[in-house]
Chain A
């Protein structure tokens, strides 16, 4: 005999990148699993799985959240923004200035942390359009990048802020 328990099933309604979705999900599904496995939004990556690395960062009602620790049932009635929706939040160009600046400064190498880094940076610029180096370090304090050494990320965020304020 085994100790297998069925998870409870829940109905949720939410928005992802502006699109309204309603679906039925099991209780033990995390938000990053819902995004990647159910919705095939694979831009959001899962790194450490314990909320420390920041790869899986998404916005829920405009706030940064670790989607690897968030139960998917908790987005019921809420609005989620993932990397796939980032460009559309900026009307003046095809890409969000953060995306352009990260390319220009090579604020990425392997790219695995980049979606979380960009989403976190967007949340920063939303509340602080002209951040200092220190503001950037504080906001991205636990967004781990194992490749770049971070300096190019700081430069990219500042350059994006400049573009958006111009």
Chain B
């Protein structure tokens, strides 16, 4: 550079950029990670601990149930659907069975409906207790896990006592519930009802479940650090939640009083008194509190149902081979995770022509890319946990 060139430069315009460029790091959370509840994978672009962009990758557990259902008969599909959300297997069967029954034109007897309701609410309690135990663990508190799981085990024992299965009851039949638990093929005519002592044990279990809810109230909700980690974190506004189809406790935490048990009649919920708890702002804390309160309400429903359990047959009269006439139906249910629905299109075949499974967790986590943007890495875990999803329910 000559001196002339140098003088020609307008020095006041010279700028030196000293801004430090820190390229984003791609952080792969999952598919094998302790806090992704299975095989969810999040590809996060992080700057330090702040998420700039996040892309959930699902499908590691996709089993193609919608296709498999097309080559199965309706009773066989029960075995598929209770594997969708395995934490509350029984609750998955109910809407499918109700949908099939409505297509066929039968109705389950009242006693069967009550048993379905009791077991569905127990599935809700066990699912929510699972959440109550795992969520503090994700925030680092290991102890509540044991207390909640202890009572969950009690509830699962009861479910197992009735259905023979802890997670996959496969207990519903078209037109009622499976009448013979434990009876082999040579005992086809032996009909076994609820196991002996079930009602008394249920009342006792509900008492301990309510007690552990109070423990959780003190141990977790009364903990300053827990409040610090969850309040104001991961707020989902009601409008955004509706648009994304977020349902169940996650939606109610955002202040929307939307409970399918109150609006639809897939089970006789109208005969029982219970509240629908809602949250104020829709943060992680509200989602926790809504589930905690829902356990109490579910226990309330179970106690009422046990007290008023009618006697009568467990099965409606249905033909041995179930012929489902042409038709189309959508039945949804308030599952522990949210709205679970089955859209069955029957073309008169032995299996459904098309079965669309609307699972709650799928919609609940579809909001993640929007929700996690700009959050911190530790908050990802707090938010993921608070949505309470099950990968089987996401991938189907």
Are A and B genuine complex partners? no
Interface residues of B (CB under 8 A from A): none
